[in-house]
Amino acid sequence: MNLLIDTNLLVYAVHEESPHHAAARSFVEERRKGGGFCVTWSILYEWLRVVTHPRVFSRPLEPAKAASFVRMLAADPKVDVLLETERHCSFMQEVLAAAPPLRGNLYHDAHIAALMREHGIGTIATADRHFRVFPFLNVVDPTMGAE
């Protein structure tokens, strides 16, 4: 699996009111049926935070339904959940050295980028432009033009 799917695409894939729902859902399902994809636990926790938050959605997902979705992804043989290895610190240092100086929330993205580099994943599917600060990542946005 050579592609990681970011939080926002997973949110769009389940949030039917999103203008990006159809494109994101189709992209995620095609990857699950085809070559698969990767995520991280931080992505899955962030997804849980967003989809169950009553200030984000007028009809947030019930926690049990959201947790069921995470269990389904984690159990799917076409989905790899990337974990840190004992070499993670050196990959983190590489990522931070390759990017411009980061602040605040971009460290969450740096963590994902370090995990990707650690596991040899070069492409991230996301609608988040911040990942473009990591020169070694290929960023694809399957929602472009999908409104």
Instruction: Calculate what percentage of the chain has a pLDDT beyond 90.
Output: 86
Report how far residue 125's alpha carbon sits from residue 75's, in angstroms, rounded to the nearest whole number. 21
Question: What does DSSP say about strands 138-140 and 123-125: parallel, antiparallel, or unpaired?
Answer: parallel
What is the C-alpha separation between 78 and 64, in angstroms, rounded?
A: 23
Which of 67, 9, 68 has its CA nearest to residue 38? 9
CA-CA distance, 41 to 61, in Å (whole number)?
19
Compute the average pLDDT of residues 86-93.
96
Report yes or no on whether pTM surpasses 0.85: yes
**Residue 5 neighbours by CB distance under 10 Å:** 24
Q: Does 58 or 139 have the greater pLDDT score? A: 139
Residue whose token pair is 């990857």 = 31
Condensed to tens digits (0 to 9), the pLDDT of residues 12-44 reads: 999 888 899 999 999 999 999 999 999 999 999
Q: Which CATH number is correct for 3-140, 3.40.50.1010, 3.40.50.10860, 3.50.50.60, 3.40.640.10?
A: 3.40.50.1010
Tokens of 7: 């939080």
The pLDDT score that the predictor gives to residue 147 is: 46
Alpha-helical runs (H) found in the chain: 7-14, 21-33, 41-51, 63-75, 88-98, 106-118
